[in-house]
Amino acid sequence: DENGYVKVNEKMETNVIGLFAAGDFTTQSLFLQQTVTACADGAKAAASAFRFVRGQKAPRQLGNSL
């Protein structure tokens, strides 16, 4: 974004299908930037990536979802 953060949704998905992000440089971390938050974000991103790779996630449209 304009402040240098990577925009993600609650599943840690970026606007690039199949690309997930986690940690202090994401927009989700703006609320509380601590190590424990980054770890939780990483767990969410890993779970979302796993579901994506396993094909359990329906395709989504790019655009205004973030």
Provide the β-strand partners of residue 6. 26
Tens-digit pLDDT string for the chain (66 aa): 888 888 988 888 999 998 988 877 777 665 556 667 778 888 888 999 898 888 865 556 555 555
Strand, helix or coil at 6?
Answer: strand
**What is the rounded distance in angstroms from the CA atom of residue 66 to the CA atom of residue 2?**
14
Strand, helix or coil at 45?
Answer: helix
